[in-house]
Amino acid sequence: MHAIRERIEQKVGVPNIANLLAQSLSATDLQSLLLEVYRQRAKDKTPADVLRDYKQNRFVRPANVHPQDLHNVEDVFYAQIPDAFELLALSPVAPLGTNSVAASVDQNWTVTTIRNTEVISDATNVLALECATRRQATTKTKGTNLEAVHLAASHRFLRPQFYDKPAFLPHFHMMSLCSAGRDQGNLGFELASFLMHLEYYLASVQKIVDGSVTLAVYITDFHETDRSSFLEKGLLHPLSSKFPQVSIGFDPERVSGKRYYRDLCFHIYANPDTDEVMQLADGGSVDWTQKYLSNKKERLVISGISSERLCSLRRNAQN
């Protein structure tokens, strides 16, 4: 990126042009400037140019999943959603920095627009904003807010990275959950939320694939002290008793998400002991609402499951 910036600066003859635009102009002025730039660029394009771009730009091509398959999977998701959760239909875009400011993910992992917004690359970041908004409003009217907020959304994500990994999709559908509340001590809020999220996903997957796929849940705790006995009693045992056919255990070797999650996190896999192992869901505890509300007592559990991977599993199970 540094080399590209230097090349552009030499070409236009303006040193530090990125810093000048980012720091010297207000957000609205920068937006107006970029709107005019792209208006002029669009004016010079021909229909043949637009058709060529449509063929070549991986962001705009249709998904490989059949709409009816996706609809069938989403029907199960909607039917299984716990009563505590409210389903939302999200906007395609979110405020600039939604994915990078609280979650500490590089801004280049989102498609930033010229209107000071970004295309949603992860719905949990947006659901976290809505959770923070609702908890803040309730706190102002009722004082200390002990009421939890549970939100869900089925949404299509757009992600610009993975240029060296052609198997990764530029856009894909996910079902996402977000639970926000106040610290109850002894991981009370976190464990209750984990159970709700995991029970929902496992029940939904079993209905979608009709029990023909083996499943595994792996819990990882990045906390500095060993809490495995406590987690076995409060999380693994209740989950195992409800889903005895699912393999449930710890994954102490996991390193992915160590800087992303606050401590506890999980993965759900299909066909875990075969060459066709597939990660279906990921989730964990994060500190985003603590940052938004400047309150260390805030707790937030997020998670998501891939609708399109479940479509693939369902098709394979039916063949």
Do 306 and 172 contact (CB within 8 A), yes or no?
yes
User: Which range in 12-21, 32-41, 192-201, 212-221 is most confidently predicted, on average pLDDT?
Assistant: 192-201
pLDDT band at 98 (very low <50, low <70, confident <90, very high): very high
pLDDT the model gives residue 143: 63
What pTM value is reported for the model?
0.92
> How confident is the prediction for the chain on average, in pLDDT?
91
pLDDT the model gives residue 1: 62
Q: Does residue 194 surpass a pLDDT of 70?
A: yes
pLDDT the model gives residue 109: 87
Share above pLDDT 90 across residues of the chain, in percent, rounded to a whole number: 72
Q: Is residue 211 packed enough to be buried (19+ CB in 10 Å), middle (13-18) or exposed (0-12)? A: exposed
The letter for the amino acid at 50 is V
For tokens 């401590």, name the residue.
263
Tens-digit pLDDT profile for residues 57-90? 988 999 989 999 999 999 999 999 999 999 999 9
Higher pLDDT, residue 103 or 162: 103
Those residues with Cβ within 8 angstroms of residue 37's Cβ, 6 or more apart along the chain or in another chain? none
Do 266 and 283 contact (CB within 8 A), yes or no?
yes
Average pLDDT over residues 290-301: 96
Helix, strand and coil in the chain, % to nearest 5: 45, 20, 35
Q: Does residue 178 surpass a pLDDT of 70?
A: yes
Residue closest to 283 by CA, chosen among 189, 230, 219: 219
What is each CA distance from 165 to 4, 24, 161, 246, 252, in whole angstroms? 22, 37, 9, 31, 27
d(CA 310, CA 312): 5
d(CA 51, CA 194): 46
Average pLDDT over residues 263-273: 94
Q: Does residue 292 surpass a pLDDT of 80?
A: yes
pLDDT the model gives residue 68: 94
The continuous run of DSSP H or E covering 134 comes out as: helix 123-142
Do 151 and 131 contact (CB within 8 A), yes or no?
yes
pLDDT the model gives residue 156: 94
- DSSP annotation of 62 reads P
Higher pLDDT, residue 208 or 17: 208
Q: How many residues does the chain have?
A: 319
pLDDT the model gives residue 167: 61
Share above pLDDT 70 across residues of the chain, in percent, rounded to a whole number: 95
Residue 292: both structure tokens together = 């938004």
Q: Does residue 288 surpass a pLDDT of 60?
A: yes
- If one counts every other C-beta atom within 10 angstroms of the C-beta of residue 144, the result is 8
Q: Does residue 269 surpass a pLDDT of 90?
A: yes
- If one counts every other C-beta atom within 10 angstroms of the C-beta of residue 93, the result is 19
Higher pLDDT, residue 34 or 16: 34
Tens-digit pLDDT profile for residues 109-167? 899 999 999 999 999 999 999 999 999 988 776 666 678 999 999 999 998 866 566 56
> Strand, coil or helix: what is 106?
coil
219 backbone dihedrals φ, ψ, rounded to 5°? -100, 135
